[in-house]
Amino acid sequence: MQLRQNDKEFEFVAKAEKAIAADLARVDEIALQNQAKVLDAFHAHNVGQRHFAQTNGYGYDDIGRDTLAAVFADAFGAESAVVSPQIVSGTHALTAALFGLLRPGDVLLSVSGEPYDTLKEAIVGKDIGSLADLGVVYRSVALKDGDFDVQAIKEEFKQRIKVVFVGRSRGYEWRDALSIEQIERLCKLVKSLQDDVIVMCDNCYGEFVDTLEPVQVGADIMAGSLIKNPGGGIAPTGGYICGKKELVRQATFRLTSPSIGCEVGSYAYGYREFYQGFFLAPHVTAQAIKTSMLFGAAFDMLGYQTMPRTGAVCRDIIRSIKFNTEDELTAFVRAIQSASPVDGNVTPFAWDMPGYEDQVIMAAGTFVAGASIELSADSPIRKPYIAYLQGGLTYEHRKIALANCLKTLNLIH
Ligand SMILES: *Cc1c(COP(=O)(O)O)cnc(C)c1O
């Protein structure tokens, strides 16, 4: 990277930034409210050094683990939570929740189209102990014009539904994420159709984007990854599940064993990074959103299609940018990698990532391997050529990365 502060690429970045100044200020407002929520949760549970301690063995009465869960639950407005370094990824957290809630013969209805690739496989995969293998019936209703298809959902409720699944973020689709207001309307709708239906939300990339979380507007349970928003770029691994007490309890039986749940589980490295990451998460999420807006404004000005549109409120931390060719997409992803603080010298290639249908190319020059709250970009290699860009621990870093992309793609003349 050979950029200088007075290069024309930086001038262009400054121009894009000026165009969205008012939108950027709104993001800071949301971060302030969320920071207050998290601070209140820390205070409510008297978080102290003792909670960061290393534990080992079974981990009975591990106060670091239990208090961390209580802090998450409070900040997210949930009755109960499990937060654990033993949850290996977002998919694991979501899978545990689904397997905890569903029994043979139950119907799972996805109302936001197909779930994220890795989760879909856990639901319908053959001979892998998927939900389908266990006799759970899976159905899905696609979104219609970026919103829930109310008529089609009503039609599905002619049979008994056990769990309604909502994916808040966009996944690898050309659509915007769902807003908290949309999720609230959905919860009201399905509960009016069947009052004991359970609404579960894939909250990946959605945490702290708004001032309320899905469980505060009617969802019964939600789950996500700690190497995305709520880990604040500091948590080294892990996932969380939050929601109604009994439902979270059922999920813990799947996470460990039906006889022990989450009364066990130790962590020999100590919990400080999880607490510190969660404390930083509102700010770090805001940094990611602001730079998503900046990339959007810049590529918009250059005539590219991006999602969400410039001026729209962000509903997750992702920026989708549609490129014209596979080569252009690949060059963009590589430019992101070359602007990364770690492995900046590495060239990404598309590969067969486990759990994904198409080959995926991924830029993730991150301190925590694969952490997409850090600056990262990924894309399945399929038409149309959409890059999904997300994360970035600091806004300043993302400005440099944007200038680098503009220069690599030779877009500013
Ligand atoms: C990241 C993500 C997941 C889970 O993915 P992991 O890589 O297993 O953490 C699920 N759903 C969405 C929308 C995601 O973005």
pLDDT tier, 169 (very low <50, low <70, confident <90, very high otherwise): very high
Q: Which atom of ligand 1 is nearest to the CA of 225?
A: 9
Measured CA to CA, the distance from residue 412 to residue 182 in angstroms comes to 38
Burial 247-264 (b: 16+ CB within 10 A, else e): bbebbbbbbbeeeebbeb
Ligand 1 contact via 233 beta carbon (within 6 Å): no
Give residue 2's pLDDT: 66
Per-residue tokens: 354: 């486990």
**Per this entry, what is the length of the chain?**
413
**Cα 170 to ligand 1 centroid, rounded to whole Å:** 10
pTM given for the model: 0.96
Cβ proximity of 142 and 155 under 8 Å: no
Give residue 230's pLDDT: 98
Ligand 1 contact via 118 beta carbon (within 6 Å): yes
pLDDT digits (tens, 9 = 90+) for 114-156: 998 889 999 999 999 999 999 999 999 999 999 999 999 999 9
In 203-256, DSSP assigns E strands to 221-225, 239-243
Give residue 179's pLDDT: 97
Cβ proximity of 222 and 214 under 8 Å: yes
* Closest residue by CA, ligand 1 atom 4: 90
Per-residue tokens: 344: 């900046």
Q: Does the domain formed by 54-277 have CATH 3.40.640.10?
A: yes
Which residue in the block uniquely carries the two structure tokens 């059922």?
A: 250
Per-residue tokens: 241: 């599940």
pLDDT tier, 172 (very low <50, low <70, confident <90, very high otherwise): confident
SS3 200: strand
Share of the chain above pLDDT 70, in %: 100
- Give residues with Cβ within 8 angstroms of 70, minimum separation 6: 41, 45, 81
Cβ proximity of 198 and 166 under 8 Å: no
Q: Amino acid identity of 46?
A: N
Per-residue tokens: 404: 């680098």
pLDDT greater at residue 358 or residue 152 = 152
Burial 272-293 (b: 16+ CB within 10 A, else e): ebbbbbbbbbbbbbbbbbbbbb
**Cα 116 to ligand 1 centroid, rounded to whole Å:** 7
Which residue in the block uniquely carries the two structure tokens 């001038």?
A: 11
Ligand 1 contact via 205 beta carbon (within 6 Å): yes
* Closest residue by CA, ligand 1 atom 3: 90
pLDDT digits (tens, 9 = 90+) for 42-99: 999 999 999 999 999 999 999 999 999 999 999 999 999 999 999 999 999 999 999 9
Q: Above 80 in pLDDT, residue 4?
A: no
Measured CA to CA, the distance from residue 168 to residue 194 in angstroms comes to 22
**Cα 202 to ligand 1 centroid, rounded to whole Å:** 8
Give residue 5's pLDDT: 74
Ligand 1 contact via 224 beta carbon (within 6 Å): no
Mean pLDDT of 374-400: 94
Q: Which atom of ligand 1 is nearest to the CA of 168?
A: 13
**Cα 411 to ligand 1 centroid, rounded to whole Å:** 32
Ligand 1 contact via 239 beta carbon (within 6 Å): no
Ligand 1 contact via 55 beta carbon (within 6 Å): no
Measured CA to CA, the distance from residue 255 to residue 264 in angstroms comes to 11
Q: Could you tell me which CATH class the domain 8-34+280-408 is placed in?
A: alpha beta
Per-domain residue ranges of the chain: 8-34+280-408, 54-277
Question: Containing H/E element for 196?
Answer: none
**Cα 50 to ligand 1 centroid, rounded to whole Å:** 32
Give residue 398's pLDDT: 93
Burial 329-339 (b: 16+ CB within 10 A, else e): bbebbbbbbbb
pLDDT tier, 308 (very low <50, low <70, confident <90, very high otherwise): very high
Ligand 1 contact via 89 beta carbon (within 6 Å): yes
Ligand 1 contact via 392 beta carbon (within 6 Å): no
Give residue 101's pLDDT: 98
Q: Is 325 exposed, middle or buried (0-12, 13-18, 19+ CB in 10 A)?
A: exposed
Per-residue tokens: 220: 């019964």
**Cα 225 to ligand 1 centroid, rounded to whole Å:** 7
Ligand 1 contact via 323 beta carbon (within 6 Å): no
Cβ proximity of 239 and 223 under 8 Å: yes
Give residue 1's pLDDT: 67
Q: Which atom of ligand 1 is nearest to the CA of 170?
A: 13
pLDDT tier, 6 (very low <50, low <70, confident <90, very high otherwise): confident
Measured CA to CA, the distance from residue 27 to residue 267 in angstroms comes to 35
**Cα 167 to ligand 1 centroid, rounded to whole Å:** 10
Instruction: Output the average pLDDT for the chain.
Output: 95
**Cα 379 to ligand 1 centroid, rounded to whole Å:** 13
**Cα 91 to ligand 1 centroid, rounded to whole Å:** 6
pLDDT digits (tens, 9 = 90+) for 88-118: 999 999 999 999 999 999 999 999 999 988 8
**Cα 372 to ligand 1 centroid, rounded to whole Å:** 10
Q: Above 70 in pLDDT, residue 391?
A: yes
